[in-house]
Amino acid sequence: MERSPTTEQQQQQGRRRGAGWQRWAVLVATVWIQAVTGTNFDFSAYSSALKASLGVSQEALNYLATASDLGKALGWSSGLALIHLPLPAVLLLSAASGLAAYALQYALILDYLHLPYPLATATSKMTVLQSPLGLRTILTSLVAFFIVVSSVSLLFDRGQDAQAQLAVEQHQHQEVLLKQKPASAAVGEQKSVVVDQSSLRSQEAQVQWTSELQDVATDSGDGEEECNWSLGRWVYDNSSRPLYSGLKCSFIFDEVACDKYGRNDTKYQHWRWQPHGCNLPRFNATKFLEKLRNKRLVFVGDSVNRNQWVSMVCMVEHFIPDGRKMRVYNGSLISFKAFEYNATIDFYWSPLLLESNSDNPIIHRVEYRIIRADRIQKHANVWKDADFIVFNSYLWWRKQRDGMMMKVMYGSFEDGDAKLDEVEMVDGYEIALKKLTEYLGANINKNKTRIFFAGSSPAHSWASNWGGDDNNKCLNETEPIQIEDYRSATTDYGMMDKAKEIFGTLEPKGIHVQILNITQLSEYRKDAHPTIFRRQYVPLTKEQIANPSIYADCTHWCLPGVPDVWNEFLYAYLMHK
């Protein structure tokens, strides 16, 4: 008859088992928990107490320490992905994971030794374990952990997305061509900004993805050499537009996600740009991603250029398999990566092109703008090696008030040769473009890099330009302007003429800067701005919503929308010219 093993034998058997799968279980489980929650459990601080009270071997502690270190390394980055979840989900997941972490760590150790829960020995490194390990100790630590996570979650929830260091977002794989059922007549004036969730779900249900867009244009473009794509008209098209769903694009920014923030009329999403006498080449995301294989496309400029970057990301992201794409934040640089193609689509914040006091991607609203006339290298280091560059700079050179001037700094205080001039805004624009052109001519690899400059993006802040009420700005507009060749009095076409002239000086060096002439087609679209249906840092208050003359955004563009056409221009040049 077999004798039951003694306690000592049980412990030895437990140690032998612990040398195998349980150590791997500790490693994998702890790394996973800390990576998901971003928590920081420091096993090194517990090692003395564990060895003294539980008899855990140094070898086992090394496994635990390794798990902790790996968890921390992943936790500080991957854990930030939680800020993209609703706050209640963040808190619930954090609390559950925290409790699971404590339970798993100690359960595995005790199972490893086949011991009951003992009384821990107090040490200088483990003052929290001066009472028996049990529910009270766990809850005390969990409450502290819960408070910290809640505070951090609230902080990030109030901040802007661009402050995260790394955010990895995965979402469902979808098929690729949009079809939408015939839309009803245009919705009248907006009466409320409350989001009708059933309506949004209905809109999402109508979106179907197939392999490519409908034949509203040819692959090659009709008469592409002779056709001026910038001259045309907007055609209502509820079969091939929009190109994607703003509600389903995981990478959209809240400042341009109009339907998400209460805009219930979606007619603005269904207008297609039709050039006179020809067609734009049909956008094919798969072909575009193949063009970007092992390459890098960079948008350089201000928030309107970021608007175009978000549009491009939404136009291609649903073609990429789940888990094969990510968005990375690094200060002024935001990167979208498509692993399947080793392709990168970047946005770099540089609103004045040169180094300036507005270079911070968040804190840049300064009363007096200063550019450093001879400093561009810091910015250029980010984009100079890209395969395709799209520059944009217009709005930041427009006067925001009477008498506004641009301050231009030469030299540096460090070298003792600092000099500060004050010039008209448009003269500062010319200084910046000349310095940019000088740098491109001396440093760009003309055999590798293609350069584009996006034209002026018009604002629609003065409704009196089209016979409306200036107090509403562009709020409640649901139709494009139908006046042929309409030009707003507030759009400076001379700045684009100046840009063409300056960039033309690169032609003798074999460097061509292609102007994306998006100004005229955008002039018609008074209906396509976010107005009050957006979130910038925090949602608008009821008082702000009731005051559109100040708070309606008639500068940026709802997505899906007008910037999608800008990117169709870019696609056409890259693929066919």
Q: Are 78 and 93 in contact (CB under 8 A)?
A: no
The residue from 270, 379, 529, 556 that is catalytic is: 556
Residue with tokens 């100046």: 498
Q: Taking the CB of residue 202, how many other CB atoms lie within 10 A of it?
A: 11
Residue with tokens 């175009």: 308
Residue with tokens 């004036």: 189
DSSP string, 495-548: HHHHHHHHHGGGGGGT--EEEE--HHHHHT-TT-S-BTS-EESEEPPHHHHT-H
CA 126, CA 146: separation in Å to the nearest integer?
A: 20
Q: What is the SS3 assignment for 236?
A: strand
Q: What is the SS3 assignment for 210?
A: coil
Closest by CA position to 169, among listed 80, 92, 295: 80
The residue from 303, 311, 356, 393 that is catalytic is: 303
Q: Which two structure tokens, joined as six digits, stand for 347?
A: 């946005």
CA 40, CA 68: separation in Å to the nearest integer?
A: 7
Q: Which two structure tokens, joined as six digits, stand for 88?
A: 């209640």
Give every CB contact of residue 173 below 8 A, 6+ residues apart in sequence: 318, 321, 322
Q: Are 115 and 56 in contact (CB under 8 A)?
A: no
346 is catalytic: no
CA 397, CA 410: separation in Å to the nearest integer?
A: 19
CA 577, CA 573: separation in Å to the nearest integer?
A: 5
The β-bridge relationship of strands 535-536 and 538-539 is antiparallel
Handedness of CA 180, 182, 188, 192 (dihedral sign): negative
Closest by CA position to 254, among listed 319, 204, 306: 306
Distance of CA 314 to the CA centre of its chain: 10
Closest by CA position to 102, among listed 34, 23, 51, 38: 34
Q: Are 238 and 232 in contact (CB under 8 A)?
A: no
Q: Are 262 and 195 in contact (CB under 8 A)?
A: yes
Q: What is the SS3 assignment for 444?
A: coil
303 is catalytic: yes
Planar angle of CA 70, 71, 75, nearest 5 degrees: 120
4 is catalytic: no
CA 352, CA 234: separation in Å to the nearest integer?
A: 31
The residue from 265, 346, 553, 564 that is catalytic is: 553
The β-bridge relationship of strands 343-349 and 296-301 is parallel
Handedness of CA 222, 226, 229, 233 (dihedral sign): negative
Residues labelled catalytic = 303, 553, 556
